[in-house]
Amino acid sequence: MSYAVKAMPRPRSLTDDQIAAAALALTDRAGLAALSMRTVAAELGMGTMSLYRYVTDREQLERLVVEFVLRDVDFAPPRDAPWTDQVSAVTNGIRDAVSAHPAVVPLFLTHRSTSAGVMRCGDVLLRVLAEAGFHGPDRVFAFRTLLAYLIGALTTEHLGPLSGPGTAALARLPGDDFPFLAETARVARSIGPDEEFRRGLTIVLAGLGASP
pLDDT tens string 116-172: 999 999 999 999 999 999 999 999 999 999 999 999 999 999 889 999 999 999 999
Q: Which residue ranges does the chain devote to CATH 1.10.10.60?
A: 16-69
Task: Specify the pLDDT at position 2.
Answer: 46
Task: Specify the pLDDT at position 212.
Answer: 61
Please report the sign of the dihedral spanned by the C-alpha atoms of residue 106, residue 111, residue 115, residue 118. positive
Alpha-carbon distance of 6 to 42, in angstroms, equals 25
Closest to 94 in 3D by CA, of 76, 67, 74: 74
The DSSP 8-state label assigned to residue 50 in this structure reads H
Q: What is the CATH number of domain 75-210?
A: 1.10.357.10
Overall CATH class of domain 16-69: mainly alpha
Q: Which residue ranges does the chain devote to CATH 1.10.357.10?
A: 75-210
Task: Specify the pLDDT at position 211.
Answer: 78
Q: Is the pLDDT of residue 59 over 90?
A: yes
Task: Specify the pLDDT at position 97.
Answer: 93
The DSSP 8-state label assigned to residue 178 in this structure reads S
> Region 89-94: what's the mean pLDDT?
95
Alpha-carbon radius of gyration of the chain: 22
The pLDDT tens digits of the residues spanning 12-40 come to 589 999 999 999 999 999 999 999 999 99
